[in-house]
Structure 1
Amino acid sequence: MEVIVDRRNDSKVAVISSDNLIIDSVNDALDLMVTARYHGCDKMLLRKESITEDFFELRTGLAGEILQKYINYNMIFAIVGDFGGYHSKSLNDFIYECNQGTKVQFKRTEAEALDALHEIVV
């Protein structure tokens, strides 16, 4: 796993990349949050391929558990990828609602995600 800190003015985003699955459980998500904080970041970006597919199956409850932990610990993050392959109305509604707020963003490109994250004041 590689962590690169993207900086704009006073905003810092931990950009997480890996060829392997990073989040397969709530504990993995918490470990990742600690890693981002170690790098001085309250915001992070990761690719959807780094997250288990169970996250995108809302009935598993994994997405809700992870989001609740991140919200409780004030970690703002973006997931980058192509979400068009998911045909679940509930997932698409979930993504839409998240994108209306400031805690979680689902973006198509890293540039879009970084722009959105850097605009959020922690």
Structure 2
Amino acid sequence: MRISETGGTRIVFVDDVGPLISTANDVIGDAWGHEATLIAIPAERLDPAFFNLSSLVAGEFLQKIVNYRLQVAILGDIDAHLERSGVLRDFVWESNRGTQVWFLADEAALTKRLGRG
């Protein structure tokens, strides 16, 4: 885990390597423990069920983070998942229009997003 601050936002960057993440509990604890308001998670660390919206993993995961008034950025290439699911593609598009959940290519894209305020 790495802590950073960009555009006045304190960010917890989840490590690229480690076990798959299927619940929000641990990442929320890390964010609160480091007084961060945004959690950046590598897409490859998420349980593959996250990208199958009918599994409800993404909905429960993201709702819990939002309930704790945190933001989350899923970083990485999710094109293969998007190609398999129009519903996921729509969900990602809608999420990226908002302020709480973003699906972005990389840390540079996150920095750019936060710079816009």
Q: What is the TM-score of this pair, normalised by structure 2?
A: 0.89
Q: 1:80 is matched with which residue? A: 75
Q: Aligned partners of 2:57 and 2:40: how far apart in 1?
A: 18
Gaps of 5+ in 1: none
Q: Contact 2:6–2:111 (CA<8 Å) still a contact in 1?
A: no
Q: Aligned partners of 1:14 and 1:118: how far apart in 2?
A: 17
1:17 partner SS = coil
Q: Aligned partners of 1:16 and 1:118: how far apart in 2?
A: 21
Q: Aligned partners of 1:113 and 1:60: how far apart in 2?
A: 27
Q: 2:89 is matched with which residue? A: 92
1:12 partner SS = strand
Gaps of 5+ in 2: none
Q: Contact 1:36–1:44 (CA<8 Å) still a contact in 2?
A: yes
- CA drift of 1:21 comes to 2.5
Q: Aligned partners of 2:35 and 2:100: how far apart in 1?
A: 18
RMSD (CA atoms): 1.6
Query: Aligned runs of 1:51-90 on 2, under 5 Å?
Result: 51-86=46-81, 87=83, 88-90=85-87
Identity of aligned pairs, percent? Answer: 30
Say how many residue pairs are matched. Answer: 115
Matched, 1:106 2:94: no
Q: Aligned partners of 1:50 and 1:20: how far apart in 2?
A: 7
AA matched with 1:97: E
Q: What is the TM-score of this pair, normalised by structure 1?
A: 0.85
AA matched with 1:90: V
